[in-house]
């Protein structure tokens, strides 16, 4: 599924309880993270629920990053699904330019999340951006040498 399809799905739903059900369904459709990927290194700090994010970084001048994620909470797993869909398969530069806040505002997520879930969502996005910046920086450093 692509982020545009997710956004269209939310646009057709007016009722917030229905939006929550859709969010949970997105989490159910997320490919499960294998147990060996549920490591301390992959755990996202700052989330009230347990969230794991596995990153694969491609080669090249502007590497493509691929993400897989999971959570032990149904609603949070839906947030992981949206975040992974938004950023996975993009180059490091694209990730750094992509504003997740715009997407979450468009589907009116942030105004309905608890402060803990908002902080966790922010932690996921910050982690992805840090990894993209590191990948872009590593490639820039390699190209300069």
**Whether 59 is catalytic:** no
Pairing mode of beta strands 90-91, 64-71 = antiparallel
Q: Round to whole Å and give the CA distance between 22 and 24.
A: 5
Alpha-carbon torsion, ordered 85, 87, 88, 89, to 10 deg: 120
DSSP bridge partners of 90: 65
Residue 60 exposed, middle or buried by CB count within 10 Å (0-12, 13-18, 19+): exposed
Catalytic residue among 33, 47, 82, 107: 47
The residues annotated as belonging to the active site are 47
């Amino acid at each position: 599924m692509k982020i545009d399809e997710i956004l269209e799905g939310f646009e057709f739903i007016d009722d917030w309880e229905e939006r929550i059900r859709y969010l949970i369904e997105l989490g159910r459709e997320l490919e499960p993270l294998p147990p060996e990927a549920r490591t301390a290194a992959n755990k996202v700090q700052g989330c009230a629920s347990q969230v794991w994010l596995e990153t694969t970084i491609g080669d090249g001048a502007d590497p493509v990053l691929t993400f897989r994620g999971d959570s032990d909470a149904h609603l949070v797993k839906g947030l992981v699904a949206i975040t992974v869909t938004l950023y996975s398969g993009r180059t490091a530069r694209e990730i750094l330019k992509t504003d997740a806040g715009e997407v979450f505002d468009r589907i009116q997520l942030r105004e309905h999340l608890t402060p803990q879930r908002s902080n966790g969502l922010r932690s996921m996005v910050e982690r992805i951006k840090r990894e993209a910046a590191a990948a872009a920086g590593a490639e820039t450093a390699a190209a300069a040498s």
